[in-house]
């Protein structure tokens, strides 16, 4: 509002005093236009004034400086200042793919014109003057900490550990992140190599000085986080290791383009079959020859088209970092479901692979906590999954787990599935009340989560080994529960048994399971490193 009022005041002032100089009025009216000095003077503050002085010409001299505020306004808006809350800088390059989006290079400055779409901002380039939509996650506010490659804004302690331990990072990889518990405070997370436990992550609290500075250890303080990072990049000085390089993070996935929900089949190119299930196949493919996606094609007759569209419209509103993002659908038979692509595929298959079968127990528990986090979101939104198992959890190349196929199970019309004794019904993952009475709830999902935990800790083993489906039903009626799997921590087995309480109301919430598993994971990695 302040920027708007200032601009209106400038227009009035110029109009009143500068009849011979209509170009000046036009200049203020077009204060978002990138005049030449925007691209030439932004690096040299001393040059900015010279260029602006030249731009307004004789008017400045003839006015005797009485209208200096006009010069200040032009100086600020056209030299890259002004309404700084709307100025951003590109932290990644972006190649446009549509008629209405705007391409830019890393480091370019842009002005945000509106944020009507939370994922695609309307912006204007201060380099080219062109306007168009830009992905929200490719830019950061100008002069903010987010411009630094080592700063990660909204990142939890556990997510920091996942990123730092991911491939591409090594000893000395680091990040500074906002504190989860104390607003305005920060933490430093550093990857280290422990001779006993191998790769690990150490965390350091960055404390604030009353005078505005920062310190990790009291013997030395810094005026800024940048100075702190620069110092510890030169020497460890009390840290586990010298800061070597910022945590590597790949270019984020750009948002799905606006209004592309029901898409033509011709826009998809199938490239590689990833797997086949009871109700169709999953393919890796391209959308419009540029966007990597996963494509699930359902066998004809699997579900009613009307029911599917109604459910899909609900599903696309469920958006969370631990849920596979539903992008679009093809609404002619056979139905296609287009989602984000996850490089490592289904969790059950990944755990059996050469890479997955060597994952340590703390990483397995972290995977379980990620699934619990996603299910806590589903729980919070009063939704039900109905088919929670490792086959419906997908894994990225950074070992991020996301829940897939939530809500689809209830739409299936195949008799072999809808009949609970049918060969396709997932008996071994299903709660007793759902088997016996068809009663599905978030609490039956909790039961399934307990079964999924056994899949994770056994690297993809089928539950109830050696038992047929009828034997499982009979044994459950007698109160049987799977014994503790080999190498399963006692604490994790206790969590499984909580999920398998006979009475649904006695089973824990997913929010509780999330918190317990996150604490379980954190305990295996140690707490903050205390500095003298």
Classify residue 192 by its DSSP letter: E
CA–CA–CA angle 144, 150, 152 (5° rounding): 65
**CA quadruple 462, 464, 468, 473: dihedral positive or negative?**
negative
For residues 382-392, one letter each, b for 16 or more C-beta atoms within 10 angstroms of the residue's C-beta and e for the rest, the string is ebbbbbbbbbb
- CB 518 within 8 Å of CB 454: no
CB atoms within 10 A of CB 466: 6
Strands 131-135 and 336-339: unpaired
The residue annotated as part of the active site, out of 101, 366, 387, 445, is: 387
Residue 524 to residues 349, 361, 521, 527: CA-CA distances in angstroms? Answer: 26, 9, 5, 9
Classify residue 440 by its DSSP letter: -
Helix 510-525, helix 442-457: angle, nearest 10: 30
Q: Is 366 a catalytic residue?
A: no
Strands 151-152 and 173-178: parallel
Q: Is 296 annotated in some ligand binding site? A: yes
Phi and psi for 377 in degrees, rounded to 5?
-65, -45
- CB 3 within 8 Å of CB 82: yes
Classify residue 358 by its DSSP letter: G
Which residues does residue 112 pair with via DSSP β-bridges, in sequence order? Answer: 123
Collect all residues with Cβ–Cβ distance below 8 Å to 387 and sequence separation of at least 6. 405, 408, 409, 426, 429, 448
Collect all residues with Cβ–Cβ distance below 8 Å to 515 and sequence separation of at least 6. none
Burial class of residue 213 in the structure, from the number of CB atoms within 10 Å of its CB (0-12 exposed, 13-18 middle, 19+ buried): middle
**CA quadruple 325, 330, 335, 341: dihedral positive or negative?**
negative
3-state SS class at 328 = strand
The tokens for 287 are 């959308």
User: CA 413, CA 419: separation in Å to the nearest integer?
Assistant: 10
- Which residues contribute to the annotated binding site? 296
**Catalytic positions:** 387
- Which residues contribute to the annotated binding site for ATP? 296
């Amino acid at each position: 509002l302040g920027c708007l009022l200032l601009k209106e005041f400038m227009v009035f002032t110029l109009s009143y005093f500068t009849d011979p100089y209509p170009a000046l009025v036009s200049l203020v009216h077009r204060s978002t236009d990138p005049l030449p000095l925007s691209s030439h003077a932004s690096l040299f503050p001393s040059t900015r004034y010279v260029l602006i002085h030249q731009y307004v010409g004789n008017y400045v001299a003839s006015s005797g400086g009485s209208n200096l505020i006009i010069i200040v306004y032009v100086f600020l808006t056209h030299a890259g200042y002004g309404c700084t809350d709307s100025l951003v800088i590109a932290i990644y390059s972006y190649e446009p793919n549509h008629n209405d989006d705007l391409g830019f290079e890393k480091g370019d400055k842009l002005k945000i014109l509106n944020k009507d779409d939370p994922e695609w901002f309307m912006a204007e380039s201060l380099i080219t003057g062109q306007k168009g939509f830009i992905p929200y996650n490719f830019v950061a506010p100008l002069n903010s900490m987010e411009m630094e490659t080592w700063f990660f804004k909204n990142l939890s302690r556990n997510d920091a550990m996942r990123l730092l331990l991911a491939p591409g990072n090594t000893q000395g990889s680091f990040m500074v992140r906002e504190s989860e518990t104390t607003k305005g405070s920060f933490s430093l997370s550093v990857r280290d190599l422990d001779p006993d436990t191998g790769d690990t992550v150490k965390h350091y609290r960055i404390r604030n000085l009353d005078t505005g500075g920062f310190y990790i250890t009291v013997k030395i303080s810094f005026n800024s986080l940048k100075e702190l990072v620069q110092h510890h990049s030169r020497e460890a000085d009390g840290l586990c290791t010298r800061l070597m390089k910022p945590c590597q993070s790949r270019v984020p996935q750009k948002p799905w383009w606006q209004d592309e929900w029901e898409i033509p089949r011709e826009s998809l190119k199938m490239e590689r079959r990833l797997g086949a299930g009871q109700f169709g196949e999953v393919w890796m493919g391209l959308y419009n020859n540029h966007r990597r996606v996963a494509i699930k094609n359902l066998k004809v007759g699997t579900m009613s088209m009307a029911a599917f569209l109604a459910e899909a419209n609900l599903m696309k509103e469920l958006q969370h970092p631990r849920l596979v993002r539903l992008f679009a659908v093809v609404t002619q038979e056979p139905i296609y479901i287009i989602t984000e692509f996850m490089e490592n595929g289904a969790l059950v298959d990944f755990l059996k692979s050469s890479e997955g079968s060597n994952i340590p127990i703390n990483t397995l528990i972290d995977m379980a906590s990620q699934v619990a986090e996603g299910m806590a979101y589903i729980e919070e939104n009063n939704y039900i999954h109905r088919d929670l198992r490792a086959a419906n959890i997908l894994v990225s190349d950074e070992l991020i787990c996301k829940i897939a196929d939530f809500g689809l199970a209830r739409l299936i019309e195949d008799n072999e599935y809808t009949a609970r004794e049918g060969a396709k019904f997932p008996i071994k993952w299903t709660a007793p009340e759902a088997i016996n009475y068809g009663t599905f709830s978030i609490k039956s999902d909790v039961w399934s989560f307990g079964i999924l935990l056994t899949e994770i800790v056994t690297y993809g083993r089928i539950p109830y080994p050696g038992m047929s489906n009828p034997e499982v039903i009979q044994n459950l009626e007698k109160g049987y529960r799977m014994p503790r799997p080999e190498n399963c921590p006692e604490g994790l087995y206790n969590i499984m048994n909580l999920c398998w309480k006979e009475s649904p109301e006695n089973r824990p919430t997913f929010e509780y399971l999330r918190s317990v598993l996150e604490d379980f994971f954190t305990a295996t990695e140690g707490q903050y490193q205390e500095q003298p």
